Amino acid sequence: MRRLALPLVIFALLGGLAVWWYQPTQVLTRRTRTLLHTLTLPSDDNKSGRRMGIYALNALLSSQVEFDAPPSLAQATGSFDRAEVESVFSWLCDQAKQTRFSLRQIHSVTVNGDQADVAFLIEALAELPNDRLADGRYECTFHWQLENETWHLTRAKWAEAGE
């Protein structure tokens, strides 16, 4: 009986871990973190290494993505095809001195069927040679849509966070 107990306990723990790992809230949290990591371009990365992020970005985005940016980035507000977003990211890979999107806090993950919202706080820096597009804390909401059993970003909204 003792020989059977240990494998059963291990099997139960692994089963519980698998159930937790694949819960939509956990998957959405990981995908949000992955997107922020993909958008982060350290100053010591070379351009070709940075561009590899396009492949990760492609897997995270829906075919159409809507952006709702703060007034200081009004040109980024609108609805864009995935290819347009990838093109802007490629340009950013070439032009940016560095970008950093550090997740500070996840406020909520709300799943409603095949749609979900992740609300969170980030500290962001997007530094170009002659400008800083972003530098500070931002309240963000990512809207995700379940498409072909995979969550894809359909809308990103961010605004400067109050102190």
Strand partners, 124: 101, 136
Residue whose C-alpha is closest to residue 159's, from 46, 61, 86, 69: 69
**Residue at token pair 């982060």:** 40
pTM above 0.75, yes or no: yes
The 10 Å Cβ neighbour count of residue 130 is 7
**63, two tokens:** 């075919």
Strand partners, 118: 109, 142
Q: For the chain, which residues make up each domain, given as ranges?
A: 24-160
pLDDT, position 45: 80
CATH number at 24-160: 3.10.450.50
Each residue's pLDDT tens digit, 83-110: 999 999 999 999 999 999 999 999 999 9
Residue whose C-alpha is closest to residue 37's, from 60, 17, 69, 62: 60
Alpha helices by DSSP H, 61-153: 82-95
What confidence category does residue 47 fall into, taking pLDDT thresholds of 50, 70 and 90? confident
